[in-house]
């Protein structure tokens, strides 16, 4: 059951990163350079969220999906 806690933590972390990426992408202030920088940051956050989802699925496949 030790892995259940890890899986839940990883799933919560993935959701938090996704939420942060959505907020970053939704910000439309600044010029095209600022937009591009935020999109790059959002993409990085999404990749990190995917990594945490993979961890969650590894620790508890039926819970993380």
What pTM was computed for the model? 0.84
- Answer yes or no: are the C-beta atoms of 24 and 37 closer than 8 Å: no
Residue 61's pLDDT band (boundaries 50, 70, 90)?
Answer: low
pLDDT at 55 over 90: yes
Q: How confident is the model over 19-42, as pLDDT tens digits? A: 999 999 999 899 999 999 999 999
- Give 5-37 as a 3 state SS string: HHHHHHHHHHHHHHHHHHHHHHCCCCCHHHHHH
In the predicted model, what is the mean pLDDT of the chain? Answer: 91
């Amino acid at each position: 059951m030790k892995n259940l806690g890890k899986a839940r933590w990883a799933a919560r972390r993935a959701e938090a990163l996704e939420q942060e990426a959505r907020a970053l992408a939704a910000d439309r202030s600044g010029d095209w350079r600022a937009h591009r920088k935020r999109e790059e940051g959002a993409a990085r956050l999404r990749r990190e969220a995917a990594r945490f989802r993979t961890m969650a699925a590894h620790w508890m496949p039926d819970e993380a999906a």
